[in-house]
Structure 1
């Protein structure tokens, strides 16, 4: 097995005669049962399947050729092009554009998988582990060995995020001493607290190097990019706060702000054509970094941003944008996880007691009148708000079709929420006339059909537009993000942690 991803790519290039073609590699992830972008050779096992994704033009045209290894290090064979490119591209390509390889393709791994160290470092560690097993002798690494270890770990960490949390630093340090017990620190309770602190300093220095090189994810926090007269480096800190994997990626290779702006204008023209989704999707892929820079740096008003990027305010593109940012599918995971926890949530609700239970019961009456899955999901979401001592009316506002004027006036005053329009004499079993989303007094999406779908799309828009959760619903959205979607699930508030504990006991 080649020691690095570059060496593996070169091996495949030589074996399969791909010297004149640009490509990237994907591997079959056994946990998700789908192809994921390959970022490290440590992800591969013997006889794994590797997919070669070709970059054929700047407009994101690509084809797939699987290359199977049996074992990979000795035999590589290229087969004919994958005929199912349409389905596979939607499911496995986080960013399908040919130059978007700088975008990350996976969440923080649990447990953390150590990369392979340089040969000399690996040799010293093997010798240290051998001495530890025979004599119980701990290794005290010299400065060169320690620096070699920390350099490789910092490079691996940056593949997942530039600003890891304290617990994620602990994951890396714990994985290091677990695989190389000779590095365990004597006198330390955890055995790796010193390594954890060294990793923090090393990554801070690594970020400084990236900042000097112009990496947008860290330059956005540089003092020279703050408003004039600002002396505090902490002013307006812009970091991923909701487990974003691609928070502020760099432009595709060869692209500039001017070329990306031209593509944005071309995208507006493409939107006017019928049955043109594939072209629009590819152009949205290509302009993803440009869009994120605009969102993160300028924080535009929703109305202004919608006029510049109308394609984003569609269900398919909200799903695609959420996946570009987090690598996680939005709609399918949100609804399936909500259904998975529904019965457990109902049991937790009944044990709450007091006035809260009475309010939840009043909301759940609709379930007995209309037993559809959409109604059950809506009642669960409203009950979740009440259980967390928050008002579901702040999330879902209901109006009658006869009160259109008052509804429009109320919508203009709504900062963030979901509106539901019902017929005046509608039965409980009837579907609402319209369900949509309001942001900053602007109706950004309509015709969503039900509240659960609207809630998923609202979450997607919050990520896409880099919005903060409303204070009056912060616990509800925290549970939806960290418990339902399982994003950054290891760091919860007291309320969210208490609910999660009850769900899993």
Structure 2
């Protein structure tokens, strides 16, 4: 098996990231590009440059991976958008480049009053939000100078003699401190699997630390790391870090004093679940900005200022959502700008670092062919329903109809009811009667005799009997917006559609995609063939 390779990926001034290739150097530049897109969450079209020793380490276009080696520095040059950075939405989902589908009908994605969905980037100057999700391969940091020196010598001795290191208390503490500092750059609550990943990465990077007699070689390190991170969370709670204070006993309901009761932590791969306020800001100053936003959102051609103010108030809004779980009607009154197309996408990106619309539609179109193959093999009553849904594709040569049919067929394939997701009505009166009974879903008003995807009068999103977004033009766009709102409002997936939304999250958007239910794992296996 090839030795792991580590590269330094440079996105711009003071902006770089480690890339770990556990299977060694890719054979082609295109494979390396795919790894950068996957691990660094980069979208858009770009090329790579490497530091060429033949020209005084000046950056030169990379045409072969044979030109680079372990610990090389690679520079990312974006082609489509100037000065783009990781996690930028460099593809406009309303343009013809938003999808890899052969059908060029993406312009119909646009919503009245909306422009290209360029997500607002989190500015380090305005917010303390995290910028990267939990990595696919955890990179072990360099420890303090003396600790690193001891490890380097011990690793050399291990290679020469096979001798393991029995670290002193001081060295072990330094290692755990360094690991904890690296971990909290991504999250403060880890799953058991993620503790395994960190501990395994440690003994892989420093084989002298393997534990003789341990089944895994790192069991003791994993246990120590759990205690260390728990103690670190106690320190964070004492200094008022909202991500952990939200779970303190004083925030528990009366009569529910157990520390384990109702723990609020990321459950859908949120990167910024409950962020701290921007430097120099307080709850009072951000509340004043929220009040000012109520006036700014009513002004014409004021999207940029509204976006900046929404960025600044993200932590206030997010803490309100996580800690208080407000009713939709109340929250919409306090934050009306949240339920605009541009801001749903921007909020989703602030929470996950992933650009919602480009990622969603690109994945949907990329998986369409394999989904159709899987649908064709479904038998029984579900298979009959799927064939009825898919038949509409041949009647209308429209990419939105195809996307809508695939999404509905996906519900049926997962043994869920698409009518729980999309409710169609022939007139407004019928929709108003059912509106109050709808907890979460998409409402479609059709003209009489309309075919799927055609003669649609209105597509809207309903939460708790409230129409929170309307005039969305088509169902696929509404599904993406609904997913964004679920993240924005920290909502659970509807129980009757939990597998459908799991597919959207974990297969389409690749958020926490390594932990799947059995049903979704089977589908993912079929799609990867």
* TM-score class normalised by the smaller sequence: 0.7 to 0.9
Change (3 A) 1:186 1:221: same
Q: Which residue of 2 aligns with 1:362?
A: 388
Question: Match of 1:27, SS?
Answer: strand
Q: Which residue of 1 aligns with 2:342?
A: 316
1:243 matched to 2:269? The reply is yes
* Separation in 2, partners of 1:111, 1:448: 38
Question: Match of 2:315, SS?
Answer: helix
* Separation in 1, partners of 2:121, 2:209: 37
Q: Which residue of 2 aligns with 1:488?
A: 512
Q: Which residue of 1 aligns with 2:126?
A: 99
Q: Which residue of 1 aligns with 2:521?
A: 497
Alignment gaps of 5+ in structure 1: 1-23, 38-44, 49-67, 71-82
CA displacement, residues 148-183 of structure 1 (integer Å, 9 cap, x when unaligned)? 101100110000011111111111111111111111
Question: Match of 2:254, SS?
Answer: coil
* Separation in 1, partners of 2:157, 2:182: 27
For residue 223 of structure 2, the aligned residue among 197, 211, 217 is 197
* Separation in 2, partners of 1:95, 1:206: 26
Q: Which residue of 2 aligns with 1:252?
A: 278
Change (3 A) 1:428 1:378: closer
* Separation in 2, partners of 1:429, 1:328: 28
Structure-to-structure mapping, 1:65-80, within 5 angstroms = none
Structure-to-structure mapping, 1:336-351, within 5 angstroms = 336-351=362-377
1:108 matched to 2:97? The reply is no
Question: Match of 2:321, SS?
Answer: helix
Q: Compute the displacement of 1:358 (Å).
A: 1.1
* Separation in 1, partners of 2:451, 2:218: 63
* Separation in 2, partners of 1:239, 1:397: 32
**1:334 and 1:484 in contact (8 A); partners too:** yes
Q: Which residue of 2 aligns with 1:121?
A: 147
Q: Compute the displacement of 1:94 (Å).
A: 3.3
Q: Which residue of 1 aligns with 2:404?
A: 378
Higher RCO (C-alpha 8 Å, min separation 6): 2
Question: Match of 1:109, SS?
Answer: coil
For residue 438 of structure 1, the aligned residue among 451, 454, 462 is 462
* Separation in 2, partners of 1:240, 1:358: 38
* Separation in 2, partners of 1:164, 1:237: 13
Structure-to-structure mapping, 1:260-279, within 5 angstroms = 260-279=286-305
TM-score by length of 2: 0.79
Structure-to-structure mapping, 1:460-479, within 5 angstroms = 460-479=484-503
Alignment gaps of 5+ in structure 2: 1-12, 19-32, 42-48, 53-57, 61-80, 91-118
Give the stretch that moved more between structures: 315-324 or 346-355: 346-355
Structure-to-structure mapping, 1:274-313, within 5 angstroms = 274-313=300-339
Question: Match of 1:434, SS?
Answer: strand
Q: Compute the displacement of 1:93 (Å).
A: 6.5
Change (3 A) 1:319 1:428: closer
Q: Compute the displacement of 1:418 (Å).
A: 0.6
Q: Which residue of 2 aligns with 1:61?
A: none
For residue 193 of structure 2, the aligned residue among 162, 167, 173 is 167
Paired residues in the alignment total 442
Q: Compute the displacement of 1:427 (Å).
A: 4.3
Q: Compute the displacement of 1:226 (Å).
A: 1.6
1:418 matched to 2:418? The reply is no
Question: Match of 1:421, SS?
Answer: strand
* Separation in 2, partners of 1:195, 1:28: 26
TM-score by length of 1: 0.83
CA displacement, residues 402-422 of structure 1 (integer Å, 9 cap, x when unaligned)? xx2221110111000011111
**1:352 and 1:387 in contact (8 A); partners too:** yes
* Separation in 2, partners of 1:465, 1:503: 30
Q: Which residue of 1 aligns with 2:184?
A: 158
Q: Compute the displacement of 1:331 (Å).
A: 0.7
Q: Which residue of 1 aligns with 2:113?
A: none
Q: Which residue of 2 aligns with 1:21?
A: none
* Separation in 1, partners of 2:423, 2:121: 34
1:391 matched to 2:417? The reply is yes
Question: Match of 1:433, SS?
Answer: strand
Q: Compute the displacement of 1:355 (Å).
A: 1.8
* Separation in 2, partners of 1:468, 1:369: 36
* Separation in 1, partners of 2:455, 2:203: 57
Q: Compute the displacement of 1:85 (Å).
A: 7.1
Give the stretch that moved more between structures: 277-286 or 359-368: 359-368
**2:458 and 2:470 in contact (8 A); partners too:** yes
Change (3 A) 1:118 1:47: farther
Q: Compute the displacement of 1:366 (Å).
A: 0.8
**1:482 and 1:492 in contact (8 A); partners too:** yes
